[in-house]
Amino acid sequence: MSDPTYRAQQWEQRYDPQIEDVNRLCDTLAESKPGSTVPYIDPIHDVDGCKIVSLFSNPGASLPSGFVSFENDDPSSIRMAGIYEAVGLRPDAFMPWNAHPWYLPEGKERALTMDQIADGVKPLLTFLQQVPRASALVAHGADAHKAARRLMKLENRAIAKRGFKIYEVRSPGERAFKGTPVNQELWLKEIQAAYTDAMGRAGIRARQSI
């Protein structure tokens, strides 16, 4: 996303068929809160192919690219790109989302309040209805864990029919990964194991590294 040409290309494709429903939802969510903005989901993902959802906390105050994407250049995105590559998870087989999909006010990039988490549960459910083949959600960090638990308390029939499974793992953020190299490697392995298990349940074959 640091390449202006690539970023412009993704922007032009934000309403392409494979991602249109989700990004129209982003527009609707922004309109629901006057003055707010919701970043789009990178069109490298595919609503029909998505079988795993990566749930994070929030997009912060801004994303220079305008997209929730592992192609962004922040440390969390770079770490997630490495995790997806390590397990061989193709972009068309998963999709990211945020427990609180709206940008936060500047300087408020902390743990979400319970009200913010509650605000994001209905959009999360609506999002999951846009990716009907998804049967697993990997929740990264405490905010995502809380959102996923609230989601499951809704006992939505459509979600229950999928045999939906929640995996609670560490956030890929810098603060969550402060530790010795040995611990960092252990944490990465734990996250990779969750994705590997989710892929196995969903019948996703790992992409071979080039």
- 209 falls within a domain: no
Residue 185's CATH number: 3.40.470.10
- 210 falls within a domain: no
Q: Match 């994070």 to its residue by tokens.
A: 56
Closest CA to 15 of 31, 26, 30: 26
What's the sign of the alpha-carbon dihedral 122, 166, 113, 131? Answer: negative
On the question of pLDDT at 100 being above 60, the answer is yes
Closest CA to 186 of 170, 208, 202, 175: 170
For the chain, give the mean pLDDT.
Answer: 93
- 18 falls within a domain: yes
pLDDT for the residue 210: 43
Domain count, the chain: 1
- 207 falls within a domain: no
DSSP-derived 3-state class of residue 205: coil
Q: Dump pLDDT digits (tens) for 7-60.
A: 999 999 999 999 999 999 999 999 999 999 999 999 999 999 999 999 999 999
Q: State the pLDDT confidence band at 108, using cuts at 50, 70 and 90.
A: low
Q: State the pLDDT confidence band at 156, using cuts at 50, 70 and 90.
A: confident
- 66 falls within a domain: yes
pLDDT for the residue 209: 54
- 21 falls within a domain: yes
How many CB atoms neighbour CB 64 within 10 A?
Answer: 11
Per the CB < 8 A criterion, the answer to whether 179 and 169 are in contact is no
User: Could you tell me the residue range of the domain that residue 85 belongs to?
Assistant: 4-202
Q: State the pLDDT confidence band at 186, using cuts at 50, 70 and 90.
A: very high
- 173 falls within a domain: yes
Q: What angle do CA 143, 144, 145 make, to 5 degrees?
A: 90
On the question of pLDDT at 163 being above 90, the answer is no
Closest CA to 172 of 153, 194, 151, 191: 191
pLDDT for the residue 201: 92
- 33 falls within a domain: yes
Query: Rounded CA gap, 69 and 175, in Å?
Result: 20
On the question of pLDDT at 127 being above 80, the answer is yes
